[in-house]
Amino acid sequence: MDQQRDGTLRRLARIEGQVRGVIGMIESDRYCIDVLQQLRAIQSALAKVQDAVLKDHAATCVERAISSGDPIDQRQKFDELIDIISKTRN
């Protein structure tokens, strides 16, 4: 799991750099389409991070709840998962 976490942190650091780059582009009045293309790249990168965190949650927190045999914990984790998935689709 540490390897996945490190990969996610690296991706976020790259995204942070991209955001700083967009700030610079806007400050220097770069062409709007160029800015929009960079923003689209940032959105795509964030979506990949989101997918990785979601997969990690399913593989750890949800799996633990299933293994615990606790129906309340299982229902809570399931409901959280459904809630966040439905929010990301909107």
Q: How many domains does the chain have?
A: 1
Instruction: Give the pTM.
Output: 0.82
Instruction: Report helix, strand or coil for 70.
Output: coil
Q: What is d(CA 26, CA 76) in angstroms, rounded to the nearest whole number?
A: 43
**Residue 83 is part of which domain span?**
2-89
Q: Is 57 left (phi over 0), alpha (psi -120 to 50) or beta?
A: alpha
pLDDT, one tens digit per residue, over 51-78 is: 999 999 889 999 999 999 999 999 999 9
CA distances from 37 to 8, 30, 34, 40, 45 (A): 22, 12, 5, 5, 12
Q: Which residue has the tokens 């799991």?
A: 1
**What CATH code is carried by the domain that includes residue 74?**
1.20.58.1000
Contact 14, 45 (CB under 8 A): yes
Question: Across all residues in the chain, what is the average pLDDT?
Answer: 93
The pLDDT score that the predictor gives to residue 32 is 97
